[in-house]
């Protein structure tokens, strides 16, 4: 059974429907990517999974449990946590305080477990360790993205949702972020990744879905899609 | 984009990024925090409020008491000492201080809503009015619901009505908050602004109950210290002359209530609740996906703020012993907000200073004809108080948007949170469960620390 199973989900903003019956699955341990142009509905999908936006039709099942109508904060307890589009770092909180917010709902059983997780995050992002007392709002875009991912990891997610982590970053930082995402996945965390940077995302993911104006138009193993002429044409911007 | 980055700075950044020596990296904010939200402070521990707090936190508990108690006593003694320059001339200094006490309490309550949770409430005066009218309706002989005839003795009617006023305002906060806290930003401000006016208009128009524009008189007050000199006790409005007049006594009552409110609010700030408020204020969506039940915590802030406003209203009704709708004009909401913004949103001691400024300054000028030998028309200056406060706010927003005493709030650290959880768990001696899962142990902690099961 898949860890996340979205079936025929539609999401609307007022009268305008942004998703028209999207179905996708994420298996335990997978790194799955959702690619698509601006406005295709990628963020909307993520918001529906984390509970910020209620679907008008269809269902979301997580680990065998129907969570379609579940409140967002309860989904966090289930183990779904998101690093949102635009990072959503708390600007006035320090790096440490931001990270502590990640485990707000999923508290630890012991201080040792907490310190271990924090050390793990600092190991993945040494930059955050250097700047642990800096206020989130003053950090660079790349650092904020690292903080957003690190914060999500503090919840020890069972499903990590990453919405365009490469947005607005320099190529060198993007490569670094993608490497770390792969590493997080290799260490056993299931990841659902949204990207416009199709080349990097597809080459690193097990499977991928292509979203076009609210519909899934293609899906398959990442490398297969990378070779698909239609995908190449539309998303890899042969230039 | 990178207009401010000189080539040198960029290369320095690049090299230091490679070698992990993060020494000479003057980190430039390459991306600004989301527009429309003002972070409390961009640099940690920088403001005057922060420095004071750091100094205070470094002191041992007994030292804190040794400094804090005499300090509070000194403030309490101010209207008795009546220092020459500080004393007001137009209005009795005792009643000015009593007014300050009430506004300080209001500022503490409003600070929970605006400063802590970041909810712009423009109708806070409504809760102040509800608190005052609750006491007045239950104890004034003009009111159809007067209880002092039958079973409430006039001696302690005010005190008995205080918890009722708190409960009624808290419930009205809940009623107003439940639908409106689903709105955000500007919408919330507009709806609360309307609420403040609705309360005043109700008081003005429900003639048969509230007495309409005539108001309610002879509101109860504590009958304490009855003597030949004070046939109605020291809290009576009749005790108007001398140093130890009713104003001073009411000021002392408000000090006690302020200290209690500060202890309660301070404990909340340092708990999981306080951490949730800060997160909501800074980014509500992000808070929600971190697992903060945002609606519930916003409602909590609203209810707690309302209750504190209600206490202040009850104080007012008792002190003046007469309530009329015009006292609860919407302009008062702005004045209260001004106290909070002046003092530094989120700094509960700062907003008390803000309250002092807002109440004291106009009264300082009232009736004064000269200052340091320079002749002035104090009454005229006091008349323009809204103009001056407006100007002050504009200047503040330009030069010091975080208020006079900005302070970063100390958030609950993990060590303390664990301690709280452990204590709660010990209290709850529930069947241990298998406790091997990750999230399994969480709900118990949640219930115990937030006092609110889902
Ligand atoms: N808050 C909103 N209100 C109305 N329409 C929205 C809102 N957010 C997104 N949309 C619309 O929904 C569609 C999908 O948006 P989104 O999920 O953000 O796309 P993507 O993340 O793929 O760029 C777009 O047409 C967008 O205009
Ligand atoms: Mg998007």
B chain contacts of residue A140, beta-carbon cutoff 8 Å: 27-31
Q: Whose CA is nearest to atom 2 of ligand 1?
A: A13
pLDDT at B228: 84
What are the residue ranges of helices labelled H in B59-185?
61-81, 93-110, 125-139, 157-180
- The answer on B453 and B342 residing in a single domain is no
A chain contacts of residue B454, beta-carbon cutoff 8 Å: 74
CA triplet B2, B6, B9: central angle to 5 degrees?
100
Q: Are A3 and A63 in contact (CB under 8 A)?
A: yes
Residue A188 has pLDDT above 80, yes or no: yes
Higher pLDDT, A218 or B425: A218
Looking at every residue in chain A, the average pLDDT score rounds to 93
- The answer on B435 and B345 residing in a single domain is no
Spatial distance between the Cα atoms of B161 and B258, rounded to a whole number of angstroms: 18
Looking at every residue in chain B, the average pLDDT score rounds to 81
- The answer on B434 and B378 residing in a single domain is no
B chain contacts of residue A91, beta-carbon cutoff 8 Å: 33-34, 37, 39, 42, 282-283
Rounded to a whole number of angstroms, the distance from the CA of A52 to the nearest CA of chain B is 8
Residue A12: nearest ligand to its CA? 1
Q: Are B122 and B192 in contact (CB under 8 A)?
A: yes
- The answer on B442 and B395 residing in a single domain is no
Looking at the domain assignment, is residue B454 inside a domain? yes
- The answer on B379 and B305 residing in a single domain is yes
Convert the pLDDT of each residue in B366-416 to its tens digit: 888 888 888 888 888 888 888 988 898 888 888 887 788 777 776 766 655
Contact state of A156 with B438 under an 8 Å Cβ cutoff? yes
pLDDT at B19: 39
In this structure, of B44-58, B122-136, B241-255, the range with the lowest mean pLDDT score is B44-58
CA-based nearest residue to A80, from A57, A56, A106: A106
Q: Mind giving me the DSSP string for B208-259?
A: HHH-GGG-EES------S--SS-TT-TTSTT--SSSS-HHHHHHHHHHHHHH
**Domain CATH code at residue B129:** 1.10.3470
pLDDT confidence bin for A237, thresholds 50/70/90: low
Residue B38 has pLDDT above 70, yes or no: no
Residue B36 has pLDDT above 50, yes or no: no
- The answer on B114 and B260 residing in a single domain is yes
A chain contacts of residue B278, beta-carbon cutoff 8 Å: 90, 92-93
Residue B1 has pLDDT above 50, yes or no: no
Convert the pLDDT of each residue in A115-127 to its tens digit: 999 999 999 999 9
Convert the pLDDT of each residue in B71-82 to its tens digit: 999 999 999 989
CA-based nearest residue to B135, from B149, B147, B150, B151: B147
- The answer on B333 and B438 residing in a single domain is no
Dihedral in degrees, nearest 10, Cα atoms B315, B320, B322, B328: -60
Whether the predicted interface score ipTM is above 0.95? no
Contact state of A104 with B292 under an 8 Å Cβ cutoff? yes
Looking at the domain assignment, is residue B77 inside a domain? no
In this structure, of A225-239, B2-16, B138-152, B379-393, the range with the lowest mean pLDDT score is B2-16
pLDDT at B324: 94
- The answer on B442 and B355 residing in a single domain is no
The single residue listed with the structure tokens 């996340």 is: A4
CA-based nearest residue to A134, from B283, B408, B12: B408
Spatial distance between the Cα atoms of B183 and B187, rounded to a whole number of angstroms: 6
3-state secondary structure of B409: coil
**Average pLDDT in the A168-190 region?**
94
Residue A86: nearest ligand to its CA? 2
Give the number of domains in chain B.
2
Spatial distance between the Cα atoms of B252 and B248, rounded to a whole number of angstroms: 6
Convert the pLDDT of each residue in A19-30 to its tens digit: 999 999 999 999
How would CATH label the architecture of A1-79+158-238?
3-Layer(aba) Sandwich (3.40)
Task: Give the A:B interface size as CB pairs under 8 Å.
Answer: 147
Q: Whose CA is nearest to atom 7 of ligand 1?
A: A13
User: Of ligand 1's atoms, which has the minimum distance to the CA of residue A45?
Assistant: 17
Q: Are A33 and A202 in contact (CB under 8 A)?
A: yes
Looking at the domain assignment, is residue B63 inside a domain? no
Contact state of B411 with A102 under an 8 Å Cβ cutoff? no
pLDDT confidence bin for B417, thresholds 50/70/90: low
| Interface-testing mutation among B1, B22, B54, B290, with chain A (most A C-beta atoms within 10 A) | B290
pLDDT confidence bin for B184, thresholds 50/70/90: confident
Which residues form the domain of B330?
82-399
Write down the domain spans for chain A.
1-79+158-238, 88-156
Backbone angles phi, psi at B128, to 5 degrees: -60, -45
The single residue listed with the structure tokens 């980014």 is: B283
Contact state of B31 with A141 under an 8 Å Cβ cutoff? yes
3-state secondary structure of B437: coil
pLDDT at B374: 84
A189 CB under 6 A from ligand 1? no
Looking at the domain assignment, is residue B378 inside a domain? yes
| Interface-testing mutation among B5, B18, B31, with chain A (most A C-beta atoms within 10 A) | B31
Convert the pLDDT of each residue in B191-241 to its tens digit: 999 999 999 999 999 999 999 989 999 999 998 888 888 888 888 888 888
């Amino acid at each position: 059974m898949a860890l996340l199973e979205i079936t025929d989900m539609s999401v609307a903003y007022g009268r305008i429907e942004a998703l028209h019956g999207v179905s996708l699955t994420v298996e335990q341990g997978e790194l799955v990517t959702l690619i698509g142009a601006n406005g295709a509905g990628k963020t909307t999908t993520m918001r529906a999974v984390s509970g910020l936006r209620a679907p008008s039709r269809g269902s979301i099942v997580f680990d065998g449990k129907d969570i379609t109508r579940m409140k967002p904060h309860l989904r966090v307890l289930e183990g779904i946590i998101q690093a949102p589009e635009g990072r959503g770092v708390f600007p006035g909180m320090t790096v440490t305080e931001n990270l502590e917010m990640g485990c707000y709902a999923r508290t630890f059983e012991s201080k040792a477990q907490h310190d271990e997780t924090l050390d793990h995050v600092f190991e993945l992002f040494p930059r955050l360790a250097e700047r642990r007392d800096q206020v989130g709002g003053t950090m660079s875009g790349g650092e904020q993205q690292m903080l957003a991912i690190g914060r999500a990891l503090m919840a020890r997610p069972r499903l990590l949702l990453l919405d365009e982590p490469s947005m607005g970053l320099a190529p060198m930082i993007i490569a670094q972020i993608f490497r770390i995402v792969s590493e997080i996945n290799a260490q056993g965390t299931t990841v659902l990744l949204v990207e416009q940077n199709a080349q990097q995302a597809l080459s690193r993911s097990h499977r991928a879905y292509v979203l076009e104006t609210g519909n899934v138009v293609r899906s398959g193993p990442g490398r297969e899609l990378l070779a698909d002429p239609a995908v190449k044409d539309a998303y890899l911007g042969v230039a | 984009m990178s207009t401010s980055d000189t080539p040198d700075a960029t290369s320095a950044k690049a090299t230091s990024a490679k070698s992990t020596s993060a020494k000479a990296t003057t980190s430039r904010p390459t991306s600004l925090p989301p527009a429309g939200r003002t972070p409390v402070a961009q640099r940690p521990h920088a403001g005057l409020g922060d420095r004071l707090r750091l100094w205070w936190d470094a002191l041992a508990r007994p030292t804190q008491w040794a400094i804090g108690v005499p300090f509070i006593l000194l403030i309490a003694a101010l209207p008795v000492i009546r220092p020459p320059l500080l004393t007001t001339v137009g209005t009795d200094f005792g009643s000015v201080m009593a007014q300050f006490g009430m506004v300080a309490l209001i500022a503490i309550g409003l600070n929970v809503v605006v400063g802590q949770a970041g909810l712009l409430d423009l109708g806070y005066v409504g809760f102040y009015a509800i608190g005052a009218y609750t006491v007045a309706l239950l104890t004034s002989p003009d009111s159809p619901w007067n209880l002092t005839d039958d079973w409430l003795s006039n001696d302690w009617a005010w005190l008995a009505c205080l918890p009722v006023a708190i409960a009624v305002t808290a419930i009205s906060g809940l009623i107003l908050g439940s639908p409106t806290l689903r709105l955000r930003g500007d919408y919330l401000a507009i709806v609360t602004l309307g609420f403040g006016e609705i309360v005043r208009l109700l008081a003005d128009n429900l003639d048969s109950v509230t007495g309409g524009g005539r108001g309610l008189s002879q509101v109860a007050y504590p009958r304490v210290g009855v003597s030949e000199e004070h046939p109605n006790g020291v809290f009576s409005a009749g005790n108007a002359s001398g140093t130890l007049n009713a104003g001073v006594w009411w000021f002392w009552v408000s000090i006690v209530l302020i200290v209690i409110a500060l202890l309660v609010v301070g404990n909340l700030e340092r708990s999981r609740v306080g951490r949730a408020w800060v997160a909501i204020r800074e980014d509500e969506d992000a808070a929600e996906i971190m697992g903060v039940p945002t609606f519930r915590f916003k409602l909590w802030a609203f209810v707690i703020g309302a209750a504190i406003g209600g206490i202040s209203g009850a104080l007012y009704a008792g002190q003046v012993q007469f309530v009329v709708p015009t006292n609860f004009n919407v302009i008062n909401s702005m004045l209260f907000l001004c106290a909070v913004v002046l003092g530094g949103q989120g700094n509960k001691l700062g907003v008390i200073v803000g309250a002092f400024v807002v109440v004291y300054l106009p009264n300082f000028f009232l009736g004064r004809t000269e200052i340091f030998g320079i002749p002035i028309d104090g009454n005229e200056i006091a008349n323009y108080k809204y103009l001056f406060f407006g100007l002050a706010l504009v200047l503040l927003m330009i030069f010091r948007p975080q208020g006079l005493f900005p302070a970063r709030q100390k958030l609950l650290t993990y060590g303390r949170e664990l301690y709280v959880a452990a204590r709660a768990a010990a209290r709850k001696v529930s069947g241990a469960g298998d406790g091997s899962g990750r999230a399994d142990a969480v709900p118990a902690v949640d219930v115990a620390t937030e006092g609110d099961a889902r």
